Amino acid sequence: MSRRKSVIVVGTGAGGAAIANDLQNDHDVTILEAGGTFKPLSIPIDTFAGFRKTGLFLDERMIRLLLPSMQVRKADTMVMVNGIGVGGTTTLATGNAVRCDQNLRAIGLDLDSEFEELYSRLPITTEHEKYWNPATREMFSAFEALGFDPKPTPKFLRQAHCANCGHCAIGCPTDFKWDTRDLVSEAVRKGARLITDCRVTDLEVAGRTIHAVNARQGVRKVRFEADMVVLTAGGFGTPVILKNSGIPCEKTLFVDPVLCVAAVRKDFTQSRQLLMPFYSSHDGYMLSPYMDYLSFFFNKDWRYPMKDIISVMIKMSDDSRGTIDAEGIRKPLTKADHARLADGVEKSLQILEHMGISRKDTFLGTLNAGHPGGMLPLTAQTARSMHDPSLPDNLYVADATILPRSAGMPPILTVMAMALRVAQVIREIG
């Protein structure tokens, strides 16, 4: 009987959880996670609204006082957000299960079988539509009236009727929203080893082989060896590990910038609803109802009670231009990016106008982003192997870092599908 090969998976977000769970069936998997156990904010977030008057919330990075699992950094004119801890950013995402693989299909990568497997295994639904509150229904009607063709957003929900607490982006306190912690737990039950609070720093490379993974646990340096290594530390984490290991990445970072256009509607209660319950697709961006917590706490224009704020989110597909390394993030917006953003603002204003709100009474949110990727993009030449030639033979990447370009849509489901394909490739090479 042949020896089961060992695999180290770095990260427990969409890509890491999916590939660790899949490979543990026939490999010995060790999962390294930089953060610890995720804990959602169980107290209603509007309870903290009074603290805004104290002036304590001076900088978006202070959100970690409320949410230790949310990492916030600043780059140029944007605030960058990602999750850290078991489940990665999926614990802080709004549970969107949108398929957005058009850029992968364009380079010849067909993931139909992987998506089919995910649809059969995961709790994905649009049945939440029947539980929408009046605010959501009114916004949906406005989108429809303007010809924006809104569609209920497929969601990772264990049951369609959630508690409507609006906490989707800060951790579901009722556990109705599914995230990848389930896959991690399943992998551990099957025998995988999970090591938390273990931040990978670099890889030991000799020729075409990774010999070890170096990490830190607190002040202690640790070293792990395995036959195969899979990096899934996310679009902000994986490129830094690669660069620290002497493996170059491209300056093609995308981040999917988000900007909200908001106004005041007394007792509108948009905040007490599943976030992003529906969306409409446009040329280079999507629109969706969204309560932006970063803007609510740190943007002075958002000084109103949360229950009185109506907000339309623009999530944009940005040009692949930018980079990240140990020194920080550099992410300029191009002229085309600004044009797409301006068009999104205009359509958002039209929606609010249709709902009886004057343009002069609207205000913008804080430009932020949380879908980084693209710095080691797949091409038509590498789509079959799922392996960039710059990587050692026993090293794979299975997160948004390998997406060819931004889709301007939530990538969790698509990243998981890519990770399953990488697992298949690893299995085939033996």
| Residue that is written with structure tokens 């994905």 in the block | 124
Which of 3-17, 70-84, 223-237, 338-352 comes out lowest in average pLDDT? 70-84
pLDDT at 62: 59
Average pLDDT over residues 127-138: 94
Q: Is the pLDDT of residue 190 over 80?
A: yes
**3-state secondary structure (DSSP) of residue 63:** helix
Exposure string over 240-253, b if 16+ CB within 10 A, otherwise e: bbbbebebebeebb
At residue 153 the predicted structure's pLDDT band, cuts being 50, 70 and 90, is very high
Whole-angstrom distance, CA of residue 233 vs CA of residue 199: 10
Q: Are strands 395-397 and 228-231 parallel, antiparallel or unpaired?
A: parallel
Report which DSSP code applies to 49.
G
Give residue 58's pLDDT band: very low, low, confident or very high (50, 70, 90): low
Is pLDDT larger for residue 351 or for residue 82? 351
Q: How far apart are CA 6 and CA 28, in angstroms?
A: 5
Summarize pLDDT for 210-252 with one digit per residue, the tens: 999 999 998 999 999 999 999 999 999 999 999 999 999 999 9
**CA nearest neighbour of 232 among 180, 154, 192, 177:** 180
Q: How far apart are CA 306 and CA 268, in angstroms?
A: 9
Q: How far does CA 406 lie from the centroid of its chain?
A: 12
In this predicted structure, what is the pLDDT of residue 171? 81
pLDDT at position 42 over 70: no
- Domain spans, the chain: 6-37+179-252+374-429, 45-84+123-177+257-369
Binned at pLDDT 50, 70 and 90, residue 64 comes out as low
pLDDT digits (tens, 9 = 90+) for 361-414: 999 999 999 999 999 999 999 999 999 999 999 999 999 999 999 999 999 999
The pLDDT value given to residue 327: 84
Per-residue pLDDT at 136 exceeds 80? yes
DSSP string over 366-419: --EE---B-SS---TTTTTTT--TTS-TTEEE-SGGG-SS--SS--HHHHHHHH
Is the distance from CB of 193 to CB of 71 less than 8 angstroms?
no
At 195, is the secondary structure helix, strand, or coil? strand
**Could you read off the pLDDT of 284-335 as tens digits, one per residue?**
999 999 999 889 888 889 989 999 999 999 999 999 999 998 888 999 999 9
Q: Give the pLDDT score at 165.
A: 83
**3-state SS, residue 232:** coil
Tokens of 63: 């959100």
- Stretch 25-32: mean pLDDT, rounded? 97
pLDDT reported for residue 61? 60
Residue 80 and residue 88: Cα distance in Å, rounded? Answer: 15
pLDDT of 137:
97
For the cut 60, the answer to whether the pLDDT of residue 1 exceeds it is no
2 vs 218: which has the higher pLDDT = 218
Residue 116 contacts by C-beta under 8 Å, 6 or more apart in sequence?
none
Mean pLDDT computed over 242-266: 97
What value, to the nearest 5°, has the Cα angle with vertex 360 and ends 267 and 408? 80
Shortest CA distance to 124 belongs to which of 164, 153, 155? 155
Per-residue confidence band for 48, with pLDDT thresholds at 50, 70 and 90:
low
Average pLDDT score over the chain:
93
CA 200, CA 238: separation in Å to the nearest integer? 10
Residue 196 CA to residue 215 CA, distance in Å, equals 11
| Distance (Å) of CA 301 to CA 229, 257, 308 | 46, 19, 13
pLDDT at site 227? 97
Number of C-beta neighbours around residue 208 at 10 A:
10
Could you please state the CATH topology (level 3) that the domain comprising 6-37+179-252+374-429 is classified under.
Answer: FAD/NAD(P)-binding domain (3.50.50)
pTM for this entry: 0.94
Asked if the model's pLDDT at residue 15 lies above 90, the reply is yes
Identify residue 38 by its one-letter amino acid code. F
Share of the chain above pLDDT 90, in %: 79
User: Residue 116 above 60 pLDDT?
Assistant: yes
CB of 399 within 8 A of CB of 16?
A: yes
Given a cut of 60, is residue 253 above it in pLDDT?
yes
